[in-house]
Homo-oligomer: A and B are copies of this chain.
Amino acid sequence: MSTLALAFDLGGTELRGALVERGGDVIARVSEPTLAGAGSEAVIGQIIGLAGKLLNEHPQARVIGIGACAPGPLDPKAGIVIGPPTLAGWHNVPMIDILSRQFGLPVRLENDANAAALGEWRFGAGRGTESMVFVTVSTGIGGGVIGDGHIYHGRRGLAAEIGHMTITGEGDRCFCGNVGCFEAVASGTALGRRATRLTSARDGSLMRQLAGDGEVSARHVVEAARMGDATARELVEAEAKWLGIGFTNLLHLYSPEVIVMGGGLANGFDLLAPGIRATIDGRAMAAYRDVPVVPAELGDRAGLVGAASLILWEGEPGTALAMVQNDTTKAGGQTGSNQTKRA
């Protein structure tokens, strides 16, 4: 069996584990509901349990390290999960220290959006590019940016907080407190909310029927639009326009070779694409208009294979492990811990 990484994708709802090969293939996968309210020790116990399960079932596996991703804010260089809103009782948890002590293996950590961006960049829709923006559109909007052949971290790994880019002065207030966040107007949640407002329970509308007369979600809107419902199609068109405005900003700011769209709403990518394209064509400066927007390819394994690639990636000489955690040693004169610098 070839060299493998243990990969973990820690979400607020589900904890996923996998054994991943160098080429990005997932050879075994496990998951369980995250004990999100039980604090960090309980969840780390779950990670250890899933690792044991994977290793027991594949005793011949040559595991050379652990790549993990978790919700931000998270400091990838220091290896610390700072305090994700979806995980109770997590405050500055030194994930790399804990897991490397537990397993005696090198451990790398990345926030979930960046890990998914790495996955799509190295093994999915962004393969072969040097600069890519990954945008995940579902409950919220998140993202990860590859710039000039590197994942773009910025201070404390906090770059690419795409969902909280202000793009308008209108719309509902975002949970962050502002009006006009990209997420507040263009997320799946925003789309569902608009559909819910436009309809009412038992009004006979297709969207409400699909929703069992409950609140309409983005999925119902896409489904109804696919069935030809006129209101749903208008909602999809408006949604595509907001996405196009945000994507145009991302083109101007990051100048990627491609924008990769993932997340739940990517299920409606074919319906959204013409409106996104028309908005970009109408708003982007000429030099950016030919940049493609494409759907993600890896679905819910993007984070897992991206996390695994923190350990396994050798696609670019000299950038394997060094690339993600070693930027400080190259450029800043800061010293990281030995833990995080080891290749």
Contact = CB atoms under 8 A, between A and B. Distances in A.
A166 B245 contact: yes
Interface string A152-193: 111111111110111111100000111010000000000000
A152 B155 contact: no
Nearest to A157: B255
A309 interface: no
Interface string A107-149: 0000000000000000000000011000000000000000111
Interface in A257-293: 257, 282-283, 285, 287-288, 291
Nearest to A283: B178
A150 interface: yes
B152 A73 contact: no
Contacts of A73: 287
Given A147-B154, A148-B327, A327-B149, A130 B253 contact: no
Nearest to A164: B252
Interface string A56-74: 0000000000000000010
B150 A148 contact: yes
A154 B255 contact: yes
Interface string A309-340: 00000001011000000011011111000000
A82 interface: yes
Nearest to A316: B331
A249 interface: yes
Contacts of A165: 165, 249, 252-253
A155 B169 contact: no
Interface of A: 73, 82, 130-131, 147-150, 152-162, 164-170, 176-178, 180, 245, 248-249, 252-257, 282-283, 285, 287-288, 291, 316, 318-319, 327-328, 330-334
18 contacts: A131-B154, A148-B154, A148-B331, A149-B327, A150-B150, A154-B256, A155-B255, A155-B256, A159-B255, A161-B255, A164-B285, A165-B249, A165-B252, A166-B249, A167-B180, A169-B169, A169-B170, A319-B331
Given A253-B254, A316-B330, 13 more contacts: A73-B287, A130-B328, A131-B154, A148-B154, A149-B327, A152-B254, A156-B287, A158-B255, A159-B255, A160-B253, A160-B255, A164-B285, A177-B282
